[in-house]
Amino acid sequence: MTAYDRSTRRPPVGLLPLAATALLLAGCVPLDGPVPGATATDPAPAPGVAPATARLGGADCEEPVVTAGEASNGGWKIIAAMELDTTSGREKSTVFLDEPFGASLIWDGNGPGTDRFTEAIGEAIGYPTVEVIEGLDRITTMFTGLREPDRTLGYRAVEQVSVPITLVCGNQGARGTVNTWSNIETGLIDCSLPANEPPSMPSAMARERYCPEG
């Protein structure tokens, strides 16, 4: 048995603040986060504009211009994995992985605070800039109704995508990269059955990493 549910989700921007706790990477800030710390050098300015300054976050920046570059696919990432064991007649669950995934922004050097620019950035790139994708809740829902004695692996994965952007207000500008997602897949795997998925698929990745050996 291999069952999965895949969806392409691009929700309206500006609906749900991004949780800062999901973004603890150095140099990475949530898209509604505070101004990043200053660096020793300013980023290379966008053509025809000066390096980014605090003015980008000022009240005079009412209509920022955001230009998106070509998106690059970062491949699938497993964000949650859990096993449901009903072989004893009772339900026993084991969580292997639970790492919610959310959009983030990395500036090329010092960048502005992004709370006022999230909507403009989302509209320009055409991908989510808000919402944190949870994993275990959806897996648990798919487990509902499984009654036959079995050991079933549930997983959830996101297909990562990165988009370079340039944000300009007046003669001030900054460059950065938005790291977000394009697709979501949630699936169930019977580890006792042989694999029949291409290695690049998230189901194959989950099987290799979390199915018991032997």
Assigned domain for 49 exists? yes
Assigned domain for 36 exists? no
Residue range 18-37: mean pLDDT, rounded: 35
Q: Is the pTM of this model over 0.75?
A: no
Assigned domain for 20 exists? no
Place of tokens 């980008």: 56
Its domain, for residue 180, covers: 2-13+43-210
Tens of pLDDT, residue by residue over 82-129, are 999 988 888 899 999 999 999 999 988 776 666 678 888 999 999 999
Distance CA 31, CA 34 (A): 9
Assigned domain for 24 exists? no
Assigned domain for 30 exists? no
- Of 54-68, 108-122, 165-179, the range with the lowest mean pLDDT is 54-68
Assigned domain for 105 exists? yes
Residue range 173-202: mean pLDDT, rounded: 92
Residue range 28-50: mean pLDDT, rounded: 40
pLDDT of 10 strictly over 70: no
Distance CA 56, CA 155 (A): 41
pLDDT of 158 strictly over 90: yes
Distance CA 195, CA 201 (A): 11
Residue 121's nearest CA partner among 142, 107, 140 is: 107
Task: Provide the domain count of the chain.
Answer: 1
Assigned domain for 27 exists? no
Distance CA 157, CA 75 (A): 10
Assigned domain for 111 exists? yes
